[in-house]
Amino acid sequence: MSLIYDGAIQDVIDSFAKLPGIGPKGAQRIAFYLLSAPKEEARHLADAITTLQEKVRFCEICGNVTEESPCKICSDPRRDRTTICVVERPSDILPLDRTGQYHGLYHVLGGVIDPMAGVTPAKLRIKSLLERLKDGTVTEVILALNPTIEGDATMTYITRLLDGSGIKVTKLASGLSVGSEIEYADEITLGRAFAGRRSTDE
């Protein structure tokens, strides 16, 4: 006596349930919301999804997502062209740029070295990074990779590649995040906070 939803509803539920962070219950909630939503809103959502892959491509220089290649950042004349900040994914660029502390260029690796998952250096955008460094304009490469085992290993790998190139290679400071509590911080974070301690005069 079990019953499933009619085709179109179940199709929407199944399609949404495939998306990251949405389970079957959440997908069902969305389907019923869309059913009673203004026709315009549902249509706009469908159009936005269709347009996404048509319009958005990857910047031929930095690998960021963009509608025009080169992207806005790569083609912005006000940007400091002596620095490149290397990130794992395009979605890392916006939060870093919002800090207002960095005005240079970016380079998207497309991941980190992870042999267990089959991600070798050749599968990352490392070759194109080296190409960008050839003409001598860039004097500093900031490795802004996530502080995971794979991220650290990738930073070590790139640092070695650039050994003797004369280019300064740095990484983001590791330590306590603002608003966190020492009592609840993990040992590795606290260890790095100790190691990176600075004079209180700075």
**Residues of this chain that bind a second copy (CB under 8 A):** 1-9, 11-12, 15-16, 18-22, 25-26, 28-35, 39, 41-56, 65-68, 71-73, 89-91, 93-94, 97-98, 100, 103, 183-184
For residues 33 and 117, which CB has a smaller minimum distance to a second copy in the complex? 33
For residues 22 and 119, which CB has a smaller minimum distance to a second copy in the complex? 22
For residues 108 and 133, which CB has a smaller minimum distance to a second copy in the complex? 108
Long-range contacts of 19-23 (CB under 8 A, 24+ apart): none
Give the sign of the dihedral formed by CA 8, CA 10, CA 16, CA 22: positive
DSSP string, 93-147: HHHHHHTSS--EEEEE-SS--BGGGTB-GGGTTHHHHHHHHTTS---EEEE---S
d(Cα 116, Cα 114) in Å, to the nearest integer?
6
For residues 43 and 168, which CB has a smaller minimum distance to a second copy in the complex? 43
Please list the residues that pair with 80 across neighbouring strands. 104
- Please return the burial class of 154, using the count of CB atoms within 10 Å of its CB with bins 0-12, 13-18 and 19+: buried
Supply the minimum distance, in Å, between the C-beta of residue 28 and a second copy. Answer: 6
Supply the minimum distance, in Å, between the C-beta of residue 21 and a second copy. Answer: 5
Supply the minimum distance, in Å, between the C-beta of residue 37 and a second copy. Answer: 8
Supply the minimum distance, in Å, between the C-beta of residue 18 and a second copy. Answer: 7
For residues 72 and 168, which CB has a smaller minimum distance to a second copy in the complex? 72
CA 159 to centroid of chain Cα atoms: 20
Supply the minimum distance, in Å, between the C-beta of residue 38 and a second copy. Answer: 10
